[in-house]
């Protein structure tokens, strides 16, 4: 899928679907089912490597998995995460983003707002598409005091909104909002001209993303409130994935049960 299609989705009010994939087989299956975007997430640190968080994922890990996923995709837009400490300054950000793009990524994603101004701007100047990530930022989970909903008070909400507007002005083309109140995500989505992709951010974002292992019930550990097992009641992964796509497109997922 071309980047320009994302703007059309938002303009026409059609919800965008996204799932994570870390290998060729799942990526090929999700792509064939019609998922709009596939994210090679640093969540592989949890679901593939068995880590407590994403901090142990390296650039080499991301390059390896992005290359594997890219080989089997034909239709979906491929986004690759920039791992922890791979974008600490502008030049490092540019070099690492180029490495991910060289193995098949069509867009890179990294977490944070105003503190990464130089990194956002150098990618904008270099015409490398960027997906932002605000709200709960898994790479900053230690500093944030754990996996907690962000933006619940006025100061926190205003900071996320301000960062969202800054990111748009710096050329970010898509914005993930994770674990923020539905009212805040709705407000941000209305103010931005770029699409928002929610995960634990309510139904009014322009699209939704889930970790595929969570969505398929493979992850047997503690699951966040926003996760739903779409394999339940289905006899194949394909039908479960299509159920997820339909639920997002029809705006029946997420409902209040899966929102904050």
Q: Which residues are catalytic?
A: 178
What is the distance between the alpha carbons of residues 215 and 20, in angstroms, rounded to a whole number? 10
Instruction: Tell me the chain's radius of gyration from C-alpha atoms.
Output: 17
Q: Which residues pair with 38 in a beta bridge?
A: 19, 78
Q: Which pair of tokens denotes residue 97?
A: 């983003």
What is the distance between the alpha carbons of residues 7 and 4, in angstroms, rounded to a whole number? 6
Q: Tokens 């497109």 correspond to what residue?
A: 249
Contact by Cβ (8 Å): 220, 191? no
**Would you call 104 exposed, middle or buried from its count of C-beta atoms within 10 A (0-12, 13-18, 19+)?**
middle
**Can you say how many angstroms the Cα of residue 50 is from the centroid of all Cα atoms in its chain?**
20
Q: Which pair of tokens denotes residue 257?
A: 């049960």
Q: Tokens 């060729």 correspond to what residue?
A: 24
Residues 125/126/129/132 CA torsion (nearest 10 deg) = -50
């Amino acid at each position: 899928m071309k980047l320009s299609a994302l703007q059309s989705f938002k303009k026409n009010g059609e919800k965008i679907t996204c799932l994570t994939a870390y290998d060729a087989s799942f990526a090929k299956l999700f792509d064939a089912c019609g998922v709009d975007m596939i994210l090679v997430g640093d969540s592989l640190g949890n679901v593939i490597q068995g880590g407590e968080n994403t901090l142990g994922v390296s650039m080499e890990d991301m390059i390896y998995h992005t290359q594997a996923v890219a080989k089997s995709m034909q239709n979906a837009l491929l986004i690759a995460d920039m791992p922890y400490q791979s974008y600490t300054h502008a030049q490092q950000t540019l070099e690492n983003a180029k490495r991910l793009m060289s193995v098949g990524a069509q867009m890179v994603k990294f977490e944070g707002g105003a503190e990464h101004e130089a990194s956002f701007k150098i990618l904008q100047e270099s015409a490398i598409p960027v997906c932002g990530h605000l709200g709960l930022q898994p790479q900053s989970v230690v500093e944030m005091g754990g996996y907690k909903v962000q933006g619940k008070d006025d100061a926190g909400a205003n900071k996320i909104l301000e960062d969202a507007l800054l990111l748009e002005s710096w050329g970010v083309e898509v914005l993930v909002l994770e674990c923020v109140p539905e009212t805040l995500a709705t407000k941000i989505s209305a103010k931005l001209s770029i699409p928002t992709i929610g995960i634990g951010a309510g139904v009014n974002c322009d699209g939704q993303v889930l970790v595929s292992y969570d969505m398929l019930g493979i992850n047997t550990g503690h699951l966040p409130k926003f996760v739903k097992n779409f394999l339940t009641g289905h006899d194949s992964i394909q039908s479960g994935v299509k159920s997820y796509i339909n639920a997002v497109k029809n705006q029946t997922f997420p409902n209040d049960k899966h929102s904050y």
